[in-house]
Structure 1
Amino acid sequence: MFNKIIEAGEEKGFVTGKITDINGNPLYGTLVVVKGTKIGALVGANGLYKIKANINDVLVFNHEFHKPVEIKIKKAGIINASF
């Protein structure tokens, strides 16, 4: 289940963030993809990711134990999520 999104920051053209489980542990192995493109990033052991994306793009978060989640980007910056 997707629980939380936090957006902030101003790094133009990029979205970064941390993906965690409901206990706050990094959810490594999550694949983050810009919907409709071949642009993607794999979340590392620390739960962090960075992906090149534009305003109004949709990020798709895929993890083998969770249903995919789609988030429309409202501004460049940080999107943290917990499943």
Structure 2
Amino acid sequence: MRRIGILTAGGDTPALNATIFGAVERANERGLEVVGIIRGFAGIVDPRLPHVRLNPLLSTIPELDPCIGGTILGASRTYVDPT
């Protein structure tokens, strides 16, 4: 199975949960596994932070309501050195 990861970084905006919801719906249609990366880029660089599988459990996550602003995954302002 092919897998994609979703993270949110920087500040919250009203559309983050809706964007995550839409991306997971499309991934479900295409047979892709979606992994949510907790706390943005910090979740990539810190192996202690867990990842969460967002499908097919999307409909059982009440916090991932596309009508509610914010981000279920959390965000961070972690600086990632590009070098």
**TM score, norm. by length of structure 2:** 0.31
Q: Which has the higher strand share?
A: 1
**TM score, norm. by length of structure 1:** 0.31
Q: Which has the higher helix share?
A: 2
The structure with more radius of gyration: 2
